[in-house]
Amino acid sequence: MTCIERRLPSDEARALLDLTRDMCAQSLAPVVDAAEEKSEFPRDIMNLLGQTGLLSLPYPEQFGGGAQPYEVYLQVLEELSSVWLSVGISVSVHSLACFPVAEFGTDEQRQHWLPMMLAGDTIGAYCLSEPHSGSDASALSTQAAIDVDGFIINGQKAWITHGDLADFYNVMVRTGESGANGISCLLVAAGTPGLSFAPRELKMGAWASPTAGVIFDDVRVGPDHLIGTEDGGFRIAMAALDAGRLGIAACAVGLAQGALDAATTYAQQRRQFGRPIAQFQGLSFMLADMDTAISAARALYLDAARRKDDGVEFGVAAAKAKLFATDTAMKVANDALQVLGGYGYTRDFPLERYFREAKMLQIVEGTNQVQRMVIGRALTDIS
Amino acid sequence: MKIAVCVKQVPDTWAEKKLRDDDSTLDREAADGVMNELDEYAVEEALRLAEANGGEVVVVTMGPERAAETVRKALSMGADAGVHLVDDSLHGSDALATSYALAEVLAARNFDLVIFGSESTDARMSVVPAMVAERLGLPQVTFAQKVDVDGSKVAIQRQTEYGYDDVEAELPAVVSVVEKINEPRYPSFKGIMAAKKKPVETLTVADAGLDAAKLGATAAWTKVASFAARPPKAAGTVVTDEGDGGAKIATYLTEQKFV
Ligand SMILES: Cc1cc2nc3c(=O)[nH]c(=O)nc-3n(C[C@H](O)[C@H](O)[C@H](O)COP(=O)(O)OP(=O)(O)OC[C@H]3O[C@@H](n4cnc5c(N)ncnc54)[C@H](O)[C@@H]3O)c2cc1C
Ligand SMILES: Cc1cc2nc3c(=O)[nH]c(=O)nc-3n(C[C@H](O)[C@H](O)[C@H](O)COP(=O)(O)OP(=O)(O)OC[C@H]3O[C@@H](n4cnc5c(N)ncnc54)[C@H](O)[C@@H]3O)c2cc1C
């Protein structure tokens, strides 16, 4: 990927981005195509990222985190995604899965869970969606009955990234009345009896990123596995998604940049009518528009990230960033493929992969209609 | 065990290398500086030996100001301390001078094992490890594709054209490594942060107690008298296929004595 001139806040951030680019070039780029082709989750790559500290960047140092602001963490995510979206998504989802206990856990819970979650050799999952509740997440129906020993979970989650291979699961469950006020957030460790998985979804793209249903059949967890208060989980789920959406926005910008870079290189080399196709204004204007949209999307997610880092409200800014960055990624992937003509439509070039992958980003962590809903509500005060 | 690793900063392997017009030495400002690739393997091997046997790893470099980046890189991979010999009077040193300077710095610090890459990517003389060993009066076990330390002994597999030789020496000793030996680790983010706090000793020629008369361009036994750029590639021969392309290529290959 072209080396984006980033304005980073510290020397350590610069060193971190250099390290990320090195790993992308030396360890990710050589294996991405084969792993995607085989739908193989790159556990070794995740372990490598863990060893170098890339799986714990936005969390406190005292628990093993990298203590990096979102502004920096997200740019790392962007670089990873420019080469391999499935890996970017994995890092983003893992960070999302660490969020509830890091932000809403008690001191004891943070002590107990975070060192394991941030060690670099574990991967988390975030279980909100269900077969019958997607955008309308507060209608979820996975039940957790309460008894003296804690919670007994029954039900099924759908579409869960890392579904069948995570080491820990954040699960949003119904413990009280219907609607948003009867939902709790529970942590479940892999291997807990009663936990099983549906076969992986056969997706359009991001084949190396496993997505599967998670089934709970009398899964018991102790009372100390409750994050936040009983029936107070929906607020946690939404706060996690505000942060998670920034991750998806960064992934989208990375993907778009990767697609543009491939298209630009091609346009410089491919000759038709006796000259490089980049010399046709019709084509170079397309490239210019892509580049401009990517810069705008990057600026938007960085603005939202800096709000978060400053501790001010950032939810609506994150929704705008997610909406714009993922719509941009879709459009750029489409146009970049067009630049390669017939070659873009083959598997010899990565453009068809970017195209298939971009679509997912408009759907996950709140569809882009849901983002517009969030933005519209904030604008009009009418819901 | 106290292990030294000698690392050299070289111009980025992929960059075009240039000599300076004024004194025909390598233009080190013209490209990004990186750690000589084989030296990454040397650092990795030192770290593995220290992890397995206990001990300390010190990186040693001789080079301009910015060679400090290469010391940092080794520290962020996990080395414990650095020594950076930097002095304008070192510029233009030949292999003899380089080995003299390194040997003096090493001798003053009593290492059990000194590890080198087997060759740099810029000058590629592949002599410095042997010269340093000779100056220190230490056994040299070079071109290692495997290194084991056992008590007071070091045993290596020396890579050869036909396979390998088993070679042993008493410690202290000098080892140079080849690419086959390991897979160098990435520095970790924590390592990068920790590296900032690790001690780096910066030495001038005077600090190191070196004899300036043996160093630099004026002391060099050899001198690049003049140089010329490699001629650009010739245009090549275009064979147009009019149904007889295969035969034409065969004729061409025969003419060129390739077949
Ligand atoms: C690859 C992948 C990975 C995923 N990973 C996870 C995960 O790790 N964890 C997790 O919990 N979930 C995950 N999901 C689920 C994802 O978050 C949901 O698919 C998403 O929230 C949409 O829900 P749905 O698919 O049920 O669509 P629906 O909610 O049924 O939506 C169908 C259509 O209706 C539109 N729509 C719905 N409501 C409105 C409205 N009010 N106004 C206008 N339009 C509306 C939607 O935008 C959409 O176009 C993943 C999904 C995918 C595809
Ligand atoms: C184009 C060119 C031509 C040259 N021609 C000659 C010549 O003809 N005769 C001559 O005597 N000199 C010559 N030199 C100078 C020579 O490169 C230096 O003296 C150099 O320090 C020795 O060589 P090397 O890089 O080839 O080392 P090698 O012997 O190839 O390097 C082996 C290992 O030694 C260690 N090492 C080497 N240099 C250092 C260092 N500065 N600091 C720490 N560790 C180090 C590293 O571990 C390295 O992997 C030339 C230099 C250049 C750039």
The last residue of a domain, from among A234, A266, A292 = A234
Query: How many distinct structural domains can be found in chain A?
Result: 3
The distance of A110 to chain B (nearest Cα, Å) reads 21
Q: Kindly give, in sequence order, each residue whose CB lies less than 8 Å from that of residue A92, ignoring residues fewer than 6 positions away.
A: A77, A244, A247, A248, A250, A251
Residue nearest to atom 45 of ligand 1 (CA): A369
**Span A83-103, average pLDDT:** 98
pLDDT of residue A179: 97
Q: Please state the ipTM of this predicted complex.
A: 0.80
Counting ligands in written order, the one closest to the CA of B61 is: 2
Size of interface A-B (CB pairs under 8 A): 30
- Whether A201 is in a domain gets the answer yes
**pLDDT higher than 70, residue A379:** yes
Best residue in B44, B69, B77, B186 for a mutation probing chain A (most A CBs within 10 Å): B186
* Same domain (yes/no): A259, A296: yes
Cα separation, A95 vs A247, whole angstroms: 9
Q: A61 to chain B: nearest residue by CA?
A: B190
- Whether A289 is in a domain gets the answer yes
- Whether A112 is in a domain gets the answer yes
**Domain of A205, in residue numbers:** 124-234
Burial of B59 (0-12, 13-18, 19+ CB in 10 A): buried
* Same domain (yes/no): A349, A315: yes
Residue nearest to atom 15 of ligand 1 (CA): A159
Q: Tell me which chain A residues have a C-beta less than 8 angstroms from the C-beta of B194.
A: none
* Same domain (yes/no): A375, A247: yes
Task: Tell me which residues of chain B have a C-beta less than 8 Å from any C-beta of chain A.
Answer: 76, 185-190, 192-193, 196
Query: Chain B within 8 Å of A127 (Cβ-Cβ)?
Result: no
Q: How confident is the model at residue B161 (pLDDT cuts 50, 70, 90)?
A: very high
CATH number at residue A197: 2.40.110.10
Q: Tell me which chain A residues have a C-beta less than 8 angstroms from the C-beta of B76.
A: 15
Around ligand 1, the residues with Cβ closer than 6 Å are A 93, 126-129, 134-135, 159-161, 203, 211, 360, 363-367, 369-370, 373
- Whether A6 is in a domain gets the answer no
**Maximum Cα–Cα distance for chain B, whole Å?**
75
CATH number at residue A323: 1.20.140.10
Q: Tell me which chain A residues have a C-beta less than 8 angstroms from the C-beta of B193.
A: 12
Per-residue pLDDT tens over the stretch B87-144: 999 999 999 999 999 999 999 999 999 999 999 998 899 999 999 999 999 999 999 9
Mean per-residue pLDDT over chain A, rounded: 97
- The Cα angle at residue B188 between residues A42 and A189, in degrees rounded to 5: 50
Q: Which domains does chain B have, with CATH numbers?
A: 2-219 (3.40.50.620)
pTM of the model: 0.88
CB < 8 Å from B in window 61-90 of A = 66
CB < 8 Å from B in window 178-217 of A = none
- Whether A323 is in a domain gets the answer yes
Contact A48 B186 (CB under 8 A): yes
* Same domain (yes/no): A248, A373: yes
- Whether A87 is in a domain gets the answer yes
* Same domain (yes/no): A151, A281: no
Query: Chain B within 8 Å of A53 (Cβ-Cβ)?
Result: yes
Q: Tell me which chain B residues have a C-beta less than 8 angstroms from the C-beta of A16.
A: 189, 192
- Whether A52 is in a domain gets the answer yes
Contact B188 A52 (CB under 8 A): yes
pLDDT of residue A348: 94
Crossing angle of helices A315-339 and A281-309, rounded to 10°: 160
* Same domain (yes/no): A248, A369: yes
C-alpha A129 to ligand 1 mean position (Å): 8
* Same domain (yes/no): A292, A325: yes
Q: Pick from A12, A22, A51: which is nearest to B188 by CB?
A: A51
Contact B193 A12 (CB under 8 A): yes
Contact B190 A57 (CB under 8 A): no
The last residue of a domain, from among A95, A117, A139 = A117
* Same domain (yes/no): A130, A223: yes
* Same domain (yes/no): A224, A166: yes
**DSSP structure class, residue A133:** B
- What tokens appear for B207 in the block? 């600090």
* Same domain (yes/no): A60, A185: no
Per-residue pLDDT tens over the stretch B180-233: 999 999 999 999 999 999 999 999 999 999 999 999 999 999 888 888 888 888
* Same domain (yes/no): A376, A246: yes
* Same domain (yes/no): A17, A40: yes
The last residue of a domain, from among A84, A117, A150 = A117
> Does residue A365 carry a catalytic annotation?
yes
**pLDDT higher than 90, residue A3:** no
pLDDT of residue A1: 57
Q: Pick from B186, B188, B196: which is nearest to A22 by CB?
A: B186
- Whether A2 is in a domain gets the answer no
**Span A175-186, average pLDDT:** 98
Whether B90 lines ligand 2, by a CB cut-off of 6 Å, is: no
